[in-house]
Copies of this chain bind each other. A is one copy, B any other.
């Protein structure tokens, strides 16, 4: 399985936002929506062995699971609508029990460190870092989880938690890319390397 954790720092934690203003009033939720797009979609299908965890303002985590997602469309508005639906159900997320809000989409009352710890237990945590090993020279990790941030850098606390948990440190390229573009590159790297651990 390939997993991605994306940190949204300004995004809503309530459903009261307009689907016509995801890039403004919804705190650059558009970035997270494009990460779902880049992470889950192939040209004519869904990447079934992918999970994406969107951490909303270090309070909730919305999980998209490619193996069970249904009627998911790739445009920003459609993905934002699914996230809005998840937030409408947040009262049903109690402790670490998720609210299941639509096929393949669950909402957890979990912050970044809890989500990272839960995912890391059976995955190879990859930190993407400018001092990391270049992708082209690196071996492909088994069951990788890549941790990415939205349009903001990681906070010091987030960076420390990630560095303390990371098993590998990789570098995508000489340019600093948007999170969703990074996901496209990483998928292609794993595809091309004939990654078959799932």
Q: Cβ of A176 < 8 Å from any Cβ of B?
A: yes
* A59 close to chain B: CB less than 8 A: no
Query: Is A184's CB within 8 Å of the partner chain B?
Result: yes
Chain B nearest CB, measured from A134 CB (Å): 7
A37–B34 CB distance below 8 A? yes
Partner pick for A75 among B30, B44, B73, B184, CB 8 A cutoff = B30
Interface string of A62-94 (1 = CB under 8 A from B): 000000000001111110000000000000000
Q: Is A136 positioned at the interface, with any CB of B under 8 Å from its CB? A: yes
Instruction: Number of A interface residues at 8 Å Cβ cutoff, please give it.
Output: 38
A175 to B50 alpha-carbon distance, docked (Å)? 15
CB neighbours (8 Å) of A73 from chain B are: 23
Question: Does A116 count as interface, using CB distance less than 8 angstroms?
Answer: no
The residue from B38, B135, B175, B188 contacting A173, defined by CB atoms under 8 A apart:
B188
Determine the distance from Cα of A188 to Cα of B37 in the docked complex, in whole angstroms. Answer: 18
| 7 A-B pairs (CB sep. < 8 Å) | A20-B77, A23-B73, A42-B176, A43-B151, A76-B77, A134-B192, A180-B184
